[in-house]
Chains A and B, each alone.
Chain A
Amino acid sequence: KGIYDEALSSFFRNVDTRSGGDGPDIYKGKICSLKARALLIDMEEGVVNEILQGPLRDVFDSKQLITDVSGSGNNWAVGHKLYGSQYRENIVEKLRKAAEHCDCLQCFFIIHSMGGGTGSGLGTFVLNLLEDEFPEVYRFVTSVYPSGEDDVITSPYNTVLAMKELNEHADCVLPIENESLFDIVNKIHQMINSGKLGSTVKQNSLVTSSAGSAKTVQEKPFDAMNNIVANLLLNLTSSARFEGSLNMDLNEISMNLVPFPRLHYLVSSLTPLYTLADVNVPSRRLDQMFSDAFSREHQLIQADPKHSLYLACALLVRGNVQVSDLRRNIERLKPSLHFVSWNQEGWKTGLCSVPPVGHSHSLLSLANNTCVKPTFIELKDRFMKLYKKKAHLHHYLHVDGMEQSCFSEAISSLSDLIEEYNELDATKGGPRTDPSRLKIAV
C-alpha cells in the first residue's frame, strides 16, 4: 500500500480502521483507510446509495451523508427554504466535524447543478451557510447549467434563483454546460473510431475516463461527461498538491481572476482531450495544446472567449513544460485575444511538475471573459418566458418563506450582472487613453 502524503491529505483523511470501525486519523506513514473530506447531500437516496455500493464505498464516510427520501421535485424553493431550514443544524454539525479534521482548511468545493431542486436550492443554502460559519474559507462552486432543451420545465426559475446566491456568496464559479461536455465526448468517440493512421489513443489518457478504473463496455451516459469535470477539478488543484517551479494555489486563482467581487464566473477549458500513443512530443504539438485551450470546442460552456473580452486569464500547466514554452505561447496567442484596457497583460501562470495520469503534459485555462454573457442572457430570456405568464409559480410560492420578491430580486441580480458585462464589452476596441500619472514636485 502507498504512503499517505501531503498531496493525498488535501482531499483525504487517513483513518486507522485496524481495530474495526473508525479510529483516529493517521497523519503520516502508510495508507490505512482513506476517507474523502466530503459531505454528500441529496434529498433522494438513489444516487448516494449507488455510490455506497460501488467501488468507492469505503472512501465515503457513512457519517458524512445527508439524505432524504422524497426529493425536491425540481423545486428550488423546496430545496432552499424547506429542506434548508430542516437540515440546517445537521449540515452545520457535519461541516464542523469535517473542518476539525483539517489542520488548515483553505477551500470548499461545492459541486451541484443549477436546474433542479436539491443541488440548486439546498446547494445554494449550503453556500450561504459556509459563508456564515466559515467566512475566511474560499468557496469555489462548480455549477452545471441546464441547456436550452432541458427537460425540466422550471429549470430557468431554479437557475436564476440559484444565480442570485452565487452572485452574492461564491468566491469563484466554474459554470459547466452539459451540451459542451456532450460535444467533447462525441469528439473523442469520433477520434477513436476514425481509424486514422497513427491515431491510437492511450485509453487512460482520455479526459472522459477515470484513470485506473476497470474499463466497462457500457459506461453510463453521464459518466464520461462527469469525468471531464472531475479532471477539471483535479487540474485546478494539482499545483496545490504537487510540486512545481511556479506554484498556483486556489487562493491565488481567486485573487488574480476576480477583479471585482461579482465578476467571478470563470470559463474553463482542458487540453489535451486525449494523448496519442506516440511518445514523442515535438514542441509543435505542445503549442497545439495552447492553441486548443482557446478554441470554442474546448470550452466547458457554450462560449467563444477569443471573440469576447478578457478581464483575466489563468494558465495552469502540468508536466514537462517549462517557462519558455509558456512565454512563447503567450506571446504567440496574445495578439489575437482582446484584453480589457486596464489589464492588457492579464495572465496568471502556474507550472506543476507532475502531469495527469496518461499524459506527458496538460493545460487548464480559466478565463474571466465576457463570453459568459450570452449564456446569462439566454437564461434570462427563458426565465422571462415563464415568469411573464406566471407559469408554475404557485409551486414555489406556497413554500414557506418564499415570496414573489424572491423572484424579482433574483432576476434583478441577473440583469445587473449582465449589465456589468455589457459595460465592459462597450469598452472593447475603443480608443485607449491611459489616465495621466501623478505629477511630483522635485
Chain B
Amino acid sequence: MSIVTVQLGQCGNQIGHEVFNAICSDVHGTHGLCSKKENESYCDACKERFFCEEESEVPVARAVLVDMEPKVISQTLSMAARSGYWKYDDRSHFCQKQGSGNNWANGYSVHGPRHKEVIMNLVQKEAEKCDRLGGFFTIMSMAGGTGSGLGAYVTQCLRDAFPTSFILNHVIWPYGTGEIIVQNYNSVLTLSHLYQSSDALLVHENDVIHKICAQLMNIKQISFRDVNQVIAHQLGSVFQPTYTAEGGLHYSRNPLGIDWQVRPPRLGLHPLSHSANKPLQFNTSIANLVILRGKDMHSVDLGSFRDPSLYTSWLNPQDAFNVWKTPRAFNKYEKSASLVSNSQFLLKPLDNVVGKAWNMFASKAYIHQYTKFGIEEEDFLDSFTALEQVISSYTIL
C-alpha cells in the first residue's frame, strides 16, 4: 500500500524533504540483526509505500509539493536530486510567487479556490501511480499562511475527492514565544477546519523538539534543520513497515492504520464516573500505540501500558492499546521504541493557543487583515466554539 505525501508551505516542504531522507537513509542503512530475507521484505514494503520506481535510476518520492512562493520548493527539489539516493518527480509541484503573507484567510479563501484544480490534478496523478492507495499524509505548520490556510483547504478537497481514504495531517505547533504574531489566530482557524476533514492530526511541538535537541542531543547552535531532522526521524520510526497483530506474517498493509476512530459513548457519560484515585501525573489516554524496532523486540514487557488507570474509565485497555513490531533496526539504532498517543497531553498547549487567540480577538487586533480576504468575525467565533468543544471533551476524560 502506498502513501501520497502532500508538502504544504515552507515548513511542510522542509520537513517533507527530511522525512524522505530519513526513510531512504534507513533503507540503505544497516538492517541490524534481522535476516537478509527480512530486510528485503522490509525494504520492498517501504519502497512501495513512499517511492515509485519509474524508469529513472533513483526512486521517486510519492509526493506533491505546494507553496505560494518559489524559493523553498526550488531548494527542496535540488537538494533531493543531489542526494543521489532519491528524488522528487520534477512535475509534481506547484508554486506561485507572492506567498500568503502569514494570512490564513489568504491561503484558504484566495489561494485555495484559485489553485484547487491544478493542485488536485497533481494529487490525482500521484494517487493513480499507486497500485493500492493507503491514504494521504499532509505536512504543514499551523502558524503561517500557506501550510495553515491553503493546507486546511487542500485537506477539505482531499476529503471531498477521496471520501473513503485515510487522511493524516502532520501539524507543526509553533514556538510559544512567537515565530509569527498572528500564529494563534492561524492555529485556531487551521485546527477547527482540519477537524472537519481529517482522520487524525499528528502533532509535533517546536518547543518540545527544541528541548530534545538541546538537552538530549546536546546540540549547541540549534538550527531548523536540526529540529526538522528530529521530527523526520520520529515520523520515520512510525511509518516504516512493521508487523501488526492482524497482519500476521506480512508487513502491515495499511501504513496509516492508526485506529483513532475512538468516539466517546453518546449516553451515560457522567463526569463523576472518573475514578477518584487516578494518579494525577498521567495524562488520561484514549489510545496508545507502541512501535518496537530491532533487537529484543519480543522480550519487552509492555504490561504497564495496559494499566487501566492510564485510560479513560469508559475504555477497556485491550481496545485502547496496540503494539507494532519488527526485528529490523531503524536508522542505525540497534533497538528503538516509539509511542504515539491520543491523550490529554495536548490539552495545555491547545488551551494556551486558544486562550491567547481569544485574548487578541477580544481587542479585535489584526481582524481587518482577515476580513480583507473574506474570513469574518463569525468564522472566528465558529472556530473558537469548535475548539472549546474539543478542549472540553478531552478535559472530562
Interface residues of A in 270-298 (CB under 8 A from B): 283
Known A252-B102, A257-B181, A323-B222; judge A6-B71 contact (CB<8 A). yes
Known A6-B70, A324-B222; judge A345-B97 contact (CB<8 A). no
In the complex, whether A85 has a CB less than 8 A from a CB of chain B is no
Q: Are B385 and A438 in contact (CB under 8 A)?
A: yes
Known A252-B99, A324-B222; judge A258-B369 contact (CB<8 A). yes
Interface residues of B in 55-91 (CB under 8 A from A): 69-72, 75
User: Distance (Å) between the CB of B79 and the closest chain A CB?
Assistant: 11
Q: Are A345 and B70 in contact (CB under 8 A)?
A: no
In the complex, whether A243 has a CB less than 8 A from a CB of chain B is yes
Contact residue among A6, A347, A438 (Cβ-Cβ distance under 8 Å from B179): A347
Cβ-closest chain A residue relative to B222? A324
In the complex, whether A165 has a CB less than 8 A from a CB of chain B is no
Interface residues of A in 232-253 (CB under 8 A from B): 243, 245-247, 249, 251-252
For chain B, which range describes its interface: under 10, 10 to 19, 20 to 34, or 35 or more residues? 35 or more
Q: Are B181 and A256 in contact (CB under 8 A)?
A: yes
Interface residues of A in 329-348 (CB under 8 A from B): 330-331, 334, 341-348
Q: How many A-B residue pairs have CB under 8 A?
A: 138
Cβ of B224: which chain A residues have Cβ within 8 Å of it?
245-246, 322-323, 351
The CA of A186 and the CA of B10, in the complex, are separated in Å by 41
Contact residue among B75, B214, B219, B358 (Cβ-Cβ distance under 8 Å from A437): B358
Proximity bits, A289-314, B CB within 8 Å = 1, else 0 = 00000000000000000000000100
Interface residues of A in 253-267 (CB under 8 A from B): 254-261
In the complex, whether B299 has a CB less than 8 A from a CB of chain A is no
Interface residues of B in 338-356 (CB under 8 A from A): 354-356
Q: Are B221 and A245 in contact (CB under 8 A)?
A: no
Known A322-B224, A438-B385; judge A246-B179 contact (CB<8 A). yes
In the complex, whether A47 has a CB less than 8 A from a CB of chain B is no
Q: Are A437 and B355 in contact (CB under 8 A)?
A: yes
Interface residues of A in 61-117 (CB under 8 A from B): 103-104, 106
Q: Are A323 and B223 in contact (CB under 8 A)?
A: yes
Cβ of B358: which chain A residues have Cβ within 8 Å of it?
435, 437-438
Q: Are B222 and A440 in contact (CB under 8 A)?
A: no
The CA of A251 and the CA of B360, in the complex, are separated in Å by 21
Q: Are B177 and A247 in contact (CB under 8 A)?
A: no
User: Distance (Å) between the CB of B383 and the closest chain A CB?
Assistant: 11
User: Distance (Å) between the CB of B394 and the closest chain A CB?
Assistant: 11
Known A243-B71, A257-B181, A345-B356; judge A438-B384 contact (CB<8 A). yes
Known A255-B102, A322-B222; judge A342-B227 contact (CB<8 A). no
Q: Are A254 and B10 in contact (CB under 8 A)?
A: no
In the complex, whether B359 has a CB less than 8 A from a CB of chain A is yes
The CA of A442 and the CA of B364, in the complex, are separated in Å by 28
Interface residues of B in 83-111 (CB under 8 A from A): 96-103
Given contacts A252-B101, A348-B102, 19 further A-B contacts (CB under 8 A): A106-B98, A249-B98, A249-B99, A251-B99, A251-B101, A252-B99, A256-B180, A283-B221, A322-B223, A324-B210, A327-B177, A341-B363, A342-B362, A345-B178, A347-B177, A348-B178, A349-B180, A435-B359, A440-B388
- Taking Cβ atoms with an 8 Å cutoff, the residues of A that contact B are 6, 103-104, 106, 243, 245-247, 249, 251-252, 254-261, 283, 312, 322-325, 327, 330-331, 334, 341-349, 351, 434-435, 437-440, 442
**Closest 9 A-B residue pairs measured CB to CB?**
A251-B101, A347-B178, A104-B97, A324-B222, A259-B365, A245-B224, A435-B362, A322-B223, A256-B181
